[in-house]
């Protein structure tokens, strides 16, 4: 966390405003680029004598090699965000976008609040005939990703899903029920002037309300990492969907658990609370750079006697566990709201040719560690069928003689062992869970 003099000199409101604008421009980049190109096309000034030129707006979009193009484009996108997404302020447009020269500001003003308003801008997007291109431009997502959404949930569902991924996620805590209760944490937060509420699906979760957060830091003005309740292990930062994944394991005291893909240890600590201090949790994390954070989480959670970090994948496969959770490395498309720039870094070919084979390999390796009668879970924070349903279909076809479905409800119908949490339906990060039980004697 930065603590230099420049940041210290900023007020809470200034930090909130900077964070909000940087986040907003990055999330809505494609939408803003569409409006930028439209405004430039409509202007009679651009390209005329003594008028601004395309390069002043960072155009064309595919131009590279000139750093000033990038700077000019960034200035114009920020100005457009302020003109179109932020509420009006006393004093008009001038004081709001004072960093932009008057010529460029006049060009961009054609799509601003005072020129056409929100309804007028939406009509611009409605004029795009191709539904995939329309949703991609309006909701600021790559077209290949929108195409996947449309195939999965239809045009209307894809529009809603994409819109949900553009909303800033709340700060969510998991209460360590070994040390305290959710009610006590809510009372303590209220004493500190932090408005909070219970999560809808997890019995552990606490959501910090928008009014109790200061944008631009983990946990906002509350600054979770600096709180004694975090340092002493009473609460942890953990989104509600991840809490639901841990709960789906059904882990109980005296179980032996293998977490295949331990990451930073957040799910490991949640599983530890389910074991109530009795049992064993083995952790396998292939990325060594995360081992320091993993061991630090174990120390903070006072779970040294309950957890062991495995040195390699062979050690993981030799474990005989009652519960094995595969927290698969995935595209993170269900968590794009947390990492706005990630939507522009994703590559469909990489997902299909690298991630999906790795997910199948991890699931196959982890399955070897499940004891007869034990439970195997596969989880991603992806919204893509190729990483979720198709991987599960492959596993069930390949290992039908060894594993049987473990439904989430009593009906036990086809597909009852699969659960998808969707951001536009459940209001949480997009998450997929599937689970099985190893057959006795298999």
Q: What is the DSSP string of 65-132?
A: S-HHHHHHHHHHHHHHHHHHTSPP-TT-HHHHTTTS-HHHHHHHGGGSTTTTHHHHHHHHHHT--SHH
pLDDT of residue 188: 95
Indicate if 213 and 295 belong to the same structural domain. Answer: no
Q: Which residue has the tokens 């809603």?
A: 160
Tell me how far apart the alpha carbons of residues 258 and 256 are, in angstroms, rounded to a whole number: 7
In a shared domain, residues 182 and 123: no
What is the rounded distance in angstroms from the CA atom of residue 62 to the CA atom of residue 64?
A: 6
Is the pLDDT at 287 greater than 70, yes or no? yes
Q: Which two tokens stand for residue 318?
A: 């030799």
pLDDT exceeds 70 at position 248: yes
User: Average pLDDT, stretch 254-261?
Assistant: 97
In whole angstroms, give the CA distance from residue 207 to residue 192: 15
Could you give the CA distance from residue 175 to residue 273 in angstroms, rounded to a whole number?
A: 9
Report yes or no on 149 lying in a domain. no
In a domain, 151, yes or no: no
- 403 vs 302, more confident: 403
The whole-angstrom separation of Cα 229 and Cα 237 is 11
What is the mean pLDDT of the segment spanning 221-244? 91
Q: How far is CA 387 from the centre of its chain?
A: 16
- Using the 3D structure, point to which of 206, 237, 268 is the last residue of a domain: 237
- For 5-17, how does the pLDDT look when each residue is reduced to its tens digit (9 = 90+)? 555 678 878 888 8
Give CA–CA dist 313/57, Å, rounded: 51
What does the pLDDT average to over 169-175? 95
198 & 226 share domain: yes
pLDDT digits (tens, 9 = 90+) for 347-387: 999 999 999 999 999 999 999 999 999 999 999 999 999 99
The pLDDT confidence band at residue 152, using thresholds 50, 70 and 90, is very high
The total domain count for the chain is 3
**Which of 237, 254, 274 is where one domain is finished?**
237
226 vs 402 pLDDT, higher one = 402
Determine, yes or no, domain membership for 147.
Answer: no
- pLDDT at residue 412 in the model: 53
Q: How far apart are CA 267 and CA 151, in angstroms?
A: 31
CB 326 within 8 A of CB 360: no
The bridge status of strand 307-309 relative to strand 280-284 is parallel
3-state secondary structure 299-310: HHCCCCCCEEEC
Which band of pLDDT confidence, cut at 50, 70 and 90, is reported for residue 220? very low
Angle at 398 between CA 401 and CA 441, to 5 degrees: 25
- Domain containing 389 equals 243-438
132 domain residue, yes or no: no
The DSSP secondary-structure symbol of 352 reads I
Q: What is the pLDDT of residue 218?
A: 44
Residues 258, 213 within the same domain: no
Work out the average pLDDT over 219-229: 77
Q: Which residue has the tokens 């991603």?
A: 380
Q: Over pLDDT 90: what percentage of the chain?
A: 76
Pair 244, 312: CB distance under 8 Å = no
The pLDDT of residue 8 is 62
Q: What is the mean pLDDT of residues 94-101?
A: 74
Using CB atoms within 10 Å of the CB of residue 252, give its burial: 0 to 12 exposed, 13 to 18 middle, 19+ buried.
middle
Q: Which domain-ending residue is among 64, 92, 127?
A: 127
Same domain, 218 and 86: no
Do the domain assignments include residue 164? no
Query: Do residues 40 and 65 both lie within one domain?
Result: yes
Q: Does 133 reside within a domain?
A: no
**Tokens representing 310?**
């495995």
Q: What is the pLDDT of residues 31-52, one digit of tens each?
A: 999 999 999 999 999 988 888 9
The pLDDT score that the predictor gives to residue 1 is 41
Based on the domain organization, do 191 and 275 belong to the same domain? no
**Residue at 185 is within a domain:** yes
Give first-to-last CA distance, the chain, whole Å: 50
Dmax (CA) of the chain: 83
Distance from C-alpha of 47 to C-alpha of 238, rounded to nearest angstrom = 52
How would you class 348 by CB atoms within 10 Å of its CB: exposed for 0-12, middle for 13-18, buried for 19 or more? middle
CA–CA separation, 309 and 316 (whole Å) = 10
Q: What is the arithmetic mean of pLDDT over 144-165?
A: 96
Handedness of CA 110, 111, 113, 117 (dihedral sign): positive
Q: What CA–CA distances, in Å, run from 148 to 23, 94, 191, 404?
A: 24, 41, 46, 29
Which helix (H) or strand (E) covers residue 242, if one does?
A: helix 240-248
Residue 421 DSSP one-character state: E
Sheet of strand 196-198: strand arrangement: 196-198, 205-208, 171-175, 235-237
Q: Do 181 and 318 share a domain, yes or no?
A: no
One domain, residues 224 and 321: no
How far is residue 259's CA from residue 363's CA, in Å, rounded to a whole number? Answer: 12
Shared domain for 280 and 225, answered yes or no, is no
Residues 336 and 197 in one domain: no
Q: CA torsion angle for 153, 159, 160, 162 (degrees, to 10)?
A: 100
Whether the ω angle into residue 60 lies within 30 degrees of 0, i.e. cis, is yes
3-state SS, residue 371: strand
Q: What is the average per-residue pLDDT within 198-215?
A: 81
The CATH number that applies at residue 191 is 3.30.70.1170
Asked if the structure places residue 357 within a domain, the reply is yes
**Residue in the block written with tokens 């057959």:** 439
DSSP E strand boundaries for 128-249: 171-175, 196-198, 205-208, 235-237
- Are 376 and 368 spatial neighbours (Cβ–Cβ below 8 Å)? no
State how far the Cα of 383 lies from the Cα of 330, in Å rounded to an integer: 10
Q: What is the CATH number of the domain that holds 384?
A: 3.40.50.150
| 253 and 233 share one domain | no
Q: pLDDT at position 380, please?
A: 98
C-alpha dihedral sign at 135, 139, 143, 149: negative
Q: What is the pLDDT of residue 349?
A: 96
């Amino acid at each position: 966390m930065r603590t230099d003099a420049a940041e210290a000199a900023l007020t809470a409101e200034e930090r909130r405003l900077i964070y909000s604008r940087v986040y907003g421009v990055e999330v809505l980049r494609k939408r803003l680029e569409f409006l930028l190109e439209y405004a430039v096309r409509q202007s009679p000034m651009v390209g005329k004598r003594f008028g601004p030129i395309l390069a002043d707006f960072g155009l064309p979009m595919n131009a590279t090699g000139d750093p000033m193009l990038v700077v000019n484009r960034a200035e114009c996108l920020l100005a457009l965000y302020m003109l179109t997404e932020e509420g009006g302020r006393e004093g008009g447009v001038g004081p709001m976008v004072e960093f932009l020269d008057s010529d460029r500001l006049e060009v961009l003003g054609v799509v601003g609040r005072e020129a056409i308003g929100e309804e007028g801008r939406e009509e611009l997007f409605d004029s795009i005939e191709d539904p995939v291109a329309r949703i991609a431009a309006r909701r600021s997502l790559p077209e290949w990703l929108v195409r996947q959404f449309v195939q999965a949930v239809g045009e209307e569902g894809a529009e809603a899903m994409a819109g949900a991924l553009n909303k800033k996620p709340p700060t969510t805590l998991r209460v360590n029920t070994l040390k305290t209760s959710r009610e006590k944490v809510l009372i303590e937060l209220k004493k500190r002037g932090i408005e909070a509420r219970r999560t809808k699906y997890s019995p552990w979760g606490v959501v910090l309300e928008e009014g109790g957060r200061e944008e631009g830091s983990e946990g906002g003005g509350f600054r979770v990492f600096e709180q004694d309740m975090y340092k002493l292990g009473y609460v942890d930062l953990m989104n509600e969907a991840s809490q639901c994944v841990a709960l789906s394991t059904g882990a109980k005291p005296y179980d032996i658990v293998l977490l295949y893909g331990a990451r930073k240890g957040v799910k490991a600590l949640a599983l530890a609370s389910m074991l109530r201090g009795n049992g064993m949790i083995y952790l396998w994390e292939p990325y060594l750079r995360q081992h320091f954070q993993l061991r630090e989480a174990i120390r903070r959670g006072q779970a040294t006697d309950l957890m062991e970090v495995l040195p390699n994948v062979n050690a993981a496969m030799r474990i005989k566990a009652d519960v094995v959770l595969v927290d698969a490395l995935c595209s993170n498309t269900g968590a794009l709201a947390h990492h706005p720039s990630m939507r522009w870094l994703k590559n469909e070919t990489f997902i299909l040719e690298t991630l999906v084979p790795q997910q199948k390999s991890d699931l196959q390796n982890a399955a070897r560690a499940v004891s007869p009668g034990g439970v195997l879970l596969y989880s991603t924070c992806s919204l893509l069928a190729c990483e979720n349903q198709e991987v599960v279909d492959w596993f069930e076809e390949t290992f039908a003689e060894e594993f049987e479905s473990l439904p989430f409800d009593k009906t036990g119908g086809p597909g009852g062992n699969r659960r998808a949490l969707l951001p536009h339906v459940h209001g949480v990060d997009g998450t997929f869970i599937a689970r099985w039980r190893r057959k006795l004697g298999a």
